[in-house]
Structure 1
């Protein structure tokens, strides 16, 4: 049993708004052609494209889930949450430094309020998007168990094609200011901590947060955050129909020459069967299926942070998966945040380096 000796991620009693889904990611890339080629091979479908911006979607009714805009340097910009009403947008627009409610020219339209979280990530709250037609995808394959075979005189032949991405599932961020950033999302978007991994002193190392949808089951996590030495994108995850889709994705991405990062395996917290790949700028993207879902009344779990706690089976997490690139800018951020952030200490960094380095 882990003793809690420091404040932990916690539900907020009266959040400003409640996010209904993770609507999209926003990234900048110097080469839209290269970005589109990877994302199409990964399984996302191009929704629209101009000389300036690229929008991609899954098979669901969301008009897009991934925005790429042209820029000189590759950069993760931020995320968009769908909220349930214009009143929620109004409340969010009254927060300090929030934008007014503004129309957008994204696929599907709608209105947004633009905010910045305590770690500097852009966060857009969007409402009023027009859904699009759902695209067909193959059904999940049947499974012959030893005690109950269901597929008699039949075979399994999934198509040799990029796996159909059903939807954007979650995003994982690294932050220096853990408590402030976590608290901002629970206070303003109503996220609920599902599980937290903690250091030996009880302070949080990683938190997995889900949407508060009441009695409707929500993914184990929609946003996860890890204690780091600077704000950074860790990875994003996209749901596919079954394990065969995860495996087919690995086969085809490998054949196309893309860089594999980790997998196939099954996570411990969240239970997803996973496989991770890197885009041309080393940003990690995950195929997953069979994740846990919780209603709002499920309490938070507390676990010691460890490499073993990242997966139940499969290849152990490689050191390259979490190892940061120590550029001059990163070293300056490390020195700055060690002096400034109340959540970052040399001891924590040494613990993380020992566990995951």
Structure 2
């Protein structure tokens, strides 16, 4: 396949190398409604005030989801951790970066505020204190042909929200695709695991992982997709096994939440997945059994299509990637068609046809 546009690539000397995706940041007009969905989804309250809600999984991360009270619902940004205070000093020296400051959120530590080229806030933390892990059930023992692991026993997973272990990844849509991709590889050391390209060879989606050397990292911690404006696509949260995903579907349906897509298995990343919408139609994914890559795994290149999104399960609904065309969104579409070198009307028409 001939690649006509430069693909996102590893930076030879990144400013820092992020060590984890720490948290996501949202604004919501109703914190109680936000909490109700997130608890049904499988997160637990770490801390709350009248103005801020912190949610956590069962891992030692003090929180993975922060919700501020705001007049309108919106995705604000995301937080990463780095391994050394020197990394914060390097990031604080970048143009437009904030100074190093103490963190008052759960876990404490220090942080630097940045803004990526798409306009999303990026908090980079160091020195955050881990907390005691919460209990969660063990993966179910499965019988298979030739290997009986459960004899004289039964499967009875509890009928309750699945216990989210941790935040796994977030997927964002951007207009200035190449610049934003380059920013994350240059300043946080992210590695492109797989790139999905359009028929002309230009990139449409890149799945980035952390560079943890010989330590296996999630296939993607951040994915960036070509769009006409910056948008939150979804975020993903690991649960212990496929039965937890199935039980999550049962509980969320019974609680009246809106299903978005699933259950199925992705091709790139291989996760078994199920997607749900929160009260403001933002998508949240349960997943398990994702691919883990070390730093020496090369980047893969694949043709993008609806069919390339899953190995099995229901086809991806056309509504899954369909933007809400508000007057503000239409105005941004027109502006970004004029400004972004990555965005053309032909490319938008191609994307719309591929996912129609």
Q: TM-score, normalised by structure 2?
A: 0.99
| Structure-1 residue corresponding to 2:24 | 25
The whole-number CA distance in structure 2 between the counterparts of 1:355 and 1:247 is 29
Shift of 1:266: 0.2
The whole-number CA distance in structure 1 between the counterparts of 2:281 and 2:37 is 11
| Structure-1 residue corresponding to 2:287 | 288
The whole-number CA distance in structure 2 between the counterparts of 1:229 and 1:335 is 9
| Structure-2 residue corresponding to 1:258 | 257
Shift of 1:356: 1.1
| Structure-2 residue corresponding to 1:340 | 339
The whole-number CA distance in structure 2 between the counterparts of 1:114 and 1:150 is 49
Matches for 1:9-158 after TM superposition, within 5 Å: 9-158=8-157
| Structure-1 residue corresponding to 2:232 | 233
Shift of 1:341: 0.3
| Structure-2 residue corresponding to 1:173 | 172
Q: Could you tell me which runs of 5 or more consecutive residues in structure 1 were left unpaired when the two chains were aligned.
A: none
The whole-number CA distance in structure 2 between the counterparts of 1:201 and 1:51 is 51
Aligned partner of residue 47 in structure 2, secondary structure = strand
The whole-number CA distance in structure 2 between the counterparts of 1:139 and 1:228 is 40
* CA displacement, residues 239-284 of structure 1 (integer Å, 9 cap, x when unaligned): 0000000000000000000000000000000000000000000000
* CA displacement, residues 111-142 of structure 1 (integer Å, 9 cap, x when unaligned): 10000000000000001111100111000001
* CA displacement, residues 33-81 of structure 1 (integer Å, 9 cap, x when unaligned): 0000000000000000000000000000000000000010001000000
Q: Does 1:211 align with 2:210?
A: yes
Aligned partner of residue 214 in structure 2, secondary structure = coil
Q: TM-score, normalised by structure 1?
A: 0.99
* CA displacement, residues 313-347 of structure 1 (integer Å, 9 cap, x when unaligned): 00010001000000000000000000110000111
Shift of 1:200: 1.6
Aligned partner of residue 19 in structure 1, secondary structure = coil
The whole-number CA distance in structure 1 between the counterparts of 2:166 and 2:99 is 29
Alignment root-mean-square deviation, CA: 0.5
Aligned partner of residue 313 in structure 1, secondary structure = coil
Moved over 6 A (4+): none
| Structure-1 residue corresponding to 2:245 | 246
User: How many residues are aligned here?
Assistant: 356
The whole-number CA distance in structure 2 between the counterparts of 1:3 and 1:252 is 47
Shift of 1:29: 0.1
